[in-house]
């Protein structure tokens, strides 16, 4: 079983649409991160959420950490082709980063 | 932040051969990590490489298949030995920033084994 389950696994939408990606776990974490990986590149950190219920905004991206600190969501408003990529949630547990199962997003112009 | 480069960026190899991937960081770091990733999927940690000691391998990965070197604080290599088509994947190195609580990744090495 995966520590972090993401849904959906694949998502293909038209430019301008909104979408939400989910990251779920049965474990509690002190913080959670979201990364985006564009084709041909390594993952890049988007945001870290640390407080239960916390909401962070990064332009058209809104990140929320669940009240119980077991899950998180990423909402993209008015998606653009530049948002295309693999979105990964991740947690630092002990001395190791664990990555979610990933959501592959394609935004069609 | 850290800037990481990897060589080669991609390669096509024959079954039974070995490939060594290089990872160079622009600053001194204690730990370096090697991951494997199928396109469009999540990352699987292969091993953690500390300078001056043997790498620590995750379950399912062994030193004979994936020998790692860490000769100094800015460089590491991962060798994929006796390759088979199942080794076709993207291999990424990374370093962590405990202060920033994040990992910085190289661009990856895309390996195809025929």
CA of A48 to nearest chain B CA: how many angstroms apart?
8
Q: What is the DSSP string of B58-104?
A: PTT--TTTS-EEEEETTEEEEEE-S--GGG-EEEEEEEEETTTTEEE
Question: Quick one: average pLDDT of B18-42?
Answer: 93
Q: What pLDDT does residue B96 have?
A: 85
Residue B56 has pLDDT above 80, yes or no: yes
Mean of all residue pLDDT scores within chain A? 93
Chain A residue whose CA is closest to B91: A42
Q: What pLDDT does residue A86 have?
A: 97
Residue appearing with tokens 């620590």: B56
Q: Is residue A106 part of a domain?
A: no
Picking from A42, A86, A97, the nearest residue to B40 by CB comes out as A86
Residue A1 has pLDDT above 70, yes or no: no
Do residue B43 and residue A48 have CB atoms under 8 angstroms apart? no
Q: What pLDDT does residue B76 have?
A: 96
Residue A2 has pLDDT above 90, yes or no: no
Residue A31 has pLDDT above 80, yes or no: yes
Do residue A41 and residue B96 have CB atoms under 8 angstroms apart? no
Question: Quick one: average pLDDT of B65-69?
Answer: 96
Question: Quick one: average pLDDT of A91-105?
Answer: 88
Residue A96 has pLDDT above 90, yes or no: no
Do residue A42 and residue B102 have CB atoms under 8 angstroms apart? no
- Per DSSP bridges, beta strands B56-57 and B43-50 are antiparallel
Picking from B33, B48, B101, the nearest residue to A92 by CB comes out as B101
Question: Quick one: average pLDDT of A63-69?
Answer: 94
Q: What pLDDT does residue B104 have?
A: 92
- Residues of B within 8 A of A97 (CB-CB) are 33, 45, 96, 103
Do residue B92 and residue A100 have CB atoms under 8 angstroms apart? no
Give B3-27 pLDDT, tens digit per residue.
999 999 999 999 999 999 999 999 9
Q: Are the C-beta atoms of residues B4 and B29 closer than 8 Å to each other?
A: no
Q: Is residue A92 part of a domain?
A: yes
Q: What pLDDT does residue A95 have?
A: 74
Q: Is residue A19 part of a domain?
A: yes
Do residue B101 and residue A31 have CB atoms under 8 angstroms apart? yes
Question: Helix H segments across A1-109?
Answer: none
Chain A residue whose CA is closest to B10: A40
Q: What pLDDT does residue A97 have?
A: 84
Q: Which one of 3.30.230.30, 2.60.40.10, 3.30.70.980, 2.40.128.20 gives the CATH number of domain B4-108?
A: 2.60.40.10
Give B68-111 pLDDT, tens digit per residue.
999 999 999 999 999 999 999 999 999 988 777 788 999 999 99
Residue B54 has pLDDT above 80, yes or no: yes
Q: For residues B28 and B3, give the distance between their C-alpha atoms in angstroms, rounded to a whole number.
A: 11
Show the domain range for A23.
5-101
Q: How many CB pairs under 8 A join A and B?
A: 47
Do residue B41 and residue A41 have CB atoms under 8 angstroms apart? no
Q: Is residue A78 part of a domain?
A: yes
Question: Quick one: average pLDDT of A40-54?
Answer: 92
Q: DSSP character for B87?
A: G
Q: What pLDDT does residue A17 have?
A: 97
Task: Name the domain count of chain A.
Answer: 1
CA of B59 to nearest chain A CA: how many angstroms apart?
14
User: Residue A55 maps to which CATH number?
Assistant: 2.60.40.10
Q: For residues A32 and A28, give the distance between their C-alpha atoms in angstroms, rounded to a whole number.
A: 10
């Amino acid at each position: 079983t995966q520590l972090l389950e993401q849904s959906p696994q694949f998502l293909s939408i038209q430019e301008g649409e909104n979408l939400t990606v989910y990251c779920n776990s049965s474990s509690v974490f002190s913080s959670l991160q979201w990364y985006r990986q564009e084709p041909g590149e390594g993952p890049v950190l988007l945001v870290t959420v640390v407080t239960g219920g916390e909401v962070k905004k990064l332009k058209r991206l809104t990140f929320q950490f669940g009240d119980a600190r077991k899950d998180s969501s990423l909402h993209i408003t008015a998606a653009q082709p530049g948002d295309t990529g693999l979105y990964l949630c991740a947690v630092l547990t002990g001395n190791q980063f664990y990555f979610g199962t990933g959501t592959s997003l394609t935004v069609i112009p | 932040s850290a800037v990481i480069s990897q060589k080669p960026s991609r390669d096509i190899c024959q079954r039974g051969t070995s490939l060594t991937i290089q990872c160079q960081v622009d600053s001194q770091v204690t730990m370096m990590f090697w991951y494997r990733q199928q396109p469009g999927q999540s990352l699987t940690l292969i091993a953690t490489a500390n300078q001056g000691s043997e790498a620590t391998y995750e379950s399912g990965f062994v030193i004979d298949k994936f020998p790692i070197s860490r000769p100094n604080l800015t460089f590491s290599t991962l060798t994929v030995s006796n390759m088979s088509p199942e080794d076709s994947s993207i291999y990424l190195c990374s370093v962590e920033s405990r202060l920033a609580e994040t990992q910085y990744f190289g661009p990856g090495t895309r390996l195809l084994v025929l």
